[in-house]
Amino acid sequence: MAVKQDISIIPSVLPVDFSQLGNAIVDLDKAGVDRIQWDVMDGVFVPNLTFGPDVIASTRSLTSLGFEAHLMIVEPDAFIEKYIAAGCELLIIHAESTRHLHRTLSKVKESGARAGVALNPATPIESIENVVDLLDMILVMTVNPGFGGQAYISSMEKKVVQACELARSVAHEIEIEVDGGISATTVAGAAAAGARALVAGSALFRHPEGLEAAVTEIRSIAAATIALQGN
């Protein structure tokens, strides 16, 4: 089975009060998340601007959790080494952000990081068929990237199914991740489609009972959904 089956709850730190970023990283670690996603935005690929490598590096010593950099930027090749040096062990490249996706992903692997590819809602799964041998992870965006708190696009579930089918075409393990509008009310659809890595921002940070309750709730709904399917 080349699709990783472990459920991972991955917070996006986009909703955090950035004056409290370090405390948020410590709180997320205590809340039992599996790794942390940094939404890197350059104001060009997406209409928002966020974290440079130095911001990420400043929190690296606060947790042993893995960091993934979701690179929503137009020149990803120029920043691969910088985000790895900042402490990110998984770099997510948008298929739409580089003319030479195979070369960019190869550079991520050669630099010693795991390689993920992200697909915007309009981008078909066929766009990554020729780079699947390089992939450790496929991220199916379930919102149009740039902001947190957007509505989940449920029609992306069929692309999650396609991503699982593509992952099963290779022998090595590939993680299937979704990101955008993931919450207690939407996670079942994503998990039923085959997603196992679940990125959430507002659903975690805005939960009335706090981070740990939110993480537990989303994880248990995903697990129950998968159990019902028998896989």
Which C-beta is closer to ligand DX5: that of 101 or that of 139? 139
CB 149 within 8 A of CB 165: no
Which C-beta is closer to ligand DX5: that of 148 or that of 189? 148
Which C-beta is closer to ligand DX5: that of 10 or that of 108? 10
Alpha-carbon span 194 to 22, nearest angstrom: 33
CB 159 within 8 A of CB 189: no
CB 198 within 8 A of CB 190: yes
CB 205 within 8 A of CB 175: no
Which C-beta is closer to ligand DX5: that of 12 or that of 104? 12
Distance in Å, CB of 106 to ligand DX5, minimum: 24
Q: Of all helices (H) and strands (E), which one includes residue 192?
A: helix 187-193
Distance in Å, CB of 53 to ligand DX5, minimum: 17
Annotate 64-105 with three-state secondary structure.
CCEEEEEEECCCHHHHHHHHHHCCCCEEEEEHHHCCCHHHHH
Residues labelled catalytic: 39, 179
194 sits in the region (left: phi over 0; alpha: psi -120 to 50; else beta) called left
Q: Which residues have C-beta within 8 Å of that of residue 50, sequence separation ≥ 6? A: 14, 38, 39, 40, 41
Which C-beta is closer to ligand DX5: that of 131 or that of 182? 182
For ligand DX5, the binding residues (CB under 6 A) are 12, 14, 39, 70, 143, 145-150, 179-182, 199-203
